Amino acid sequence: MTTKKTGLNPAAVLSMVGQGYYSERTAGARNVINTALEMVSQALAETPATETLRLADYGAADGGTSRGMWSNLLSGLRAAGDHREVEMIYTDLASNDFSTLFRMMQGFAGDPAEAYQKNLDHVYVHGCGTGFHQQLMASNSLNLGFSATAMHYVSEKPCELTSHVHMVGALAEEQQQFRDQAAKDWERILLARAAELIPGGRFICFNFGIDENGHFLGHTGGIHMFDQFDRHWKALRDQGTISDEEYTRATFTQHYRTMDEFLAPFSHPDSAVSKAGLRVRSSHSVMTPCPYRTAFDQSNGAMSAAEYAKTLIPTMRSWSETVFTTALDQRAPDEAMAIVDAFYQAYEDDVAANPDGHAMDYVHLVLDIEKAR
């Protein structure tokens, strides 16, 4: 078997669909982040008091999914008498739609009640368009970093997958290449955060991964979402709509780590990450049910299967579409989009015909990491 290196710029294939499409259709990701409020508040309360408070949200997309959490956290601080100046740094790739993010925080888009930059005094919002595998801010300056649903993106595709679109279904040798890339990336992420955090600072991440039951996003006992992506993409190849190369180029630049993979850099006192002062305070996995499935089930028949399919597929599309459009980037944009539309339509038709087992439950591996004081 041969695997080939890709020359693609990873930023081109990772972006969420812009102009608010991502956060408007991603209620599940917002639900996950809302559950983090208590953990983040508690961790922040345990960090050393500093004159100003610097916070970061790594891989924030348009900021819409975490805005409620940050708004509640900062309002809570103010209500408790903490009036420190706050610097909030949103990070994502250079290709991200930061314009929507800034408009949301200033109250020009989304729910104005959550526009905390406008609603609270002395909160300064910044954007950083450099990837989180690098150090992004001055050393020893960050009180608390947070990241949700972002660090499964690897910094580069180690190979194109030849028999599946995602590493979860890939051949063992290709899967290993993704595992190796993800291990290097995770160490780089941790060393960069170790440099940025103040002594006693915290880094809390809710990362996609594979839990102790072997479950991951869209695969929690029902129909396997990534197998469906692969099946419909393969069907386009087999009927001659896309070429073999276009099939192969639709490779998600992602790796779902297990908890062992997340904890490996901390396992030895002489590891680079341990020597940089990081330790894990707690780790656990959490499954968050697909909100669109829940709404369908709770409708007791009021929502038809076709209506359910029309809510489920857009949430999948909001983060996966660029993988398929990029695979077709040698074609005219209209032609590529028509193929991608047909691809998601085929999935939607399946769900509408029989919704049993279709859902996109979220599976996160959660780590609370502290830098030594």
Ligand X SMILES: C[S@@+](CC[C@H](N)C(=O)[O-])C[C@H]1O[C@@H](n2cnc3c(N)ncnc32)[C@H](O)[C@@H]1O
For ligand X, the binding residues (CB under 6 A) are 14-16, 26, 29, 33, 59-61, 65-66, 91-93, 96, 131-133, 148-150, 153, 155, 319
Minimum CB separation from ligand X for residue 130, in Å?
A: 7
Select 15 or 251, whichever has its Cβ closest to ligand X.
15
Select 93 or 182, whichever has its Cβ closest to ligand X.
93
Contacts of 39 (CB under 8 A, 6+ apart): 204, 366, 368
Select 208 or 344, whichever has its Cβ closest to ligand X.
208
Q: Where in the chain does DSSP place strands (E)?
A: 53-58, 86-91, 123-128, 142-148, 197-210, 257-258, 278-288, 362-371
Helix extents (H) in 157-243:
172-196, 225-238
Minimum CB separation from ligand X for residue 269, in Å?
A: 28
Q: Output b/e per residue, 55-87; b: 16+ Cβ within 10 A.
A: bbbbbbbbbbbbbbbbbbbbeebbeeeeeeebb
Minimum CB separation from ligand X for residue 66, in Å?
A: 6
Select 15 or 325, whichever has its Cβ closest to ligand X.
15
- DSSP labels, 266-334: GSSTTSHHHHTTEEEEEEEEEEE--HHHHHHHHTTTSS-HHHHHHHHHHHHHHHHHHHHHHHTTTS-HH
Select 93 or 242, whichever has its Cβ closest to ligand X.
93
Minimum CB separation from ligand X for residue 155, in Å?
A: 6
Minimum CB separation from ligand X for residue 240, in Å?
A: 32
Rounded distance between C-alpha atoms, residue 263 and residue 186, angstroms:
10
Answer whether 117's CB lies under 8 Å from 105's CB. Answer: yes
Select 64 or 355, whichever has its Cβ closest to ligand X.
64
Select 321 or 352, whichever has its Cβ closest to ligand X.
321
Select 168 or 339, whichever has its Cβ closest to ligand X.
168
Minimum CB separation from ligand X for residue 237, in Å?
A: 26
Identity of residue 215 = H
Look up tokens 């996950």; give the residue.
32
Answer whether 316's CB lies under 8 Å from 292's CB. Answer: no
Q: Give the phi and the psi of residue 312 in degrees, each rounded to 5.
A: -75, -45
Minimum CB separation from ligand X for residue 156, in Å?
A: 10
Answer whether 114's CB lies under 8 Å from 81's CB. Answer: no
Rounded distance between C-alpha atoms, residue 282 and residue 39, angstroms:
11
Answer whether 324's CB lies under 8 Å from 340's CB. Answer: yes
Minimum CB separation from ligand X for residue 244, in Å?
A: 28
DSSP 16: P
* Measured CA distances, 265 to 13, 199, 268 (Å): 28, 19, 7
Minimum CB separation from ligand X for residue 10, in Å?
A: 7
Minimum CB separation from ligand X for residue 185, in Å?
A: 8
Select 90 or 247, whichever has its Cβ closest to ligand X.
90
Select 59 or 110, whichever has its Cβ closest to ligand X.
59
Identity of residue 99 = S
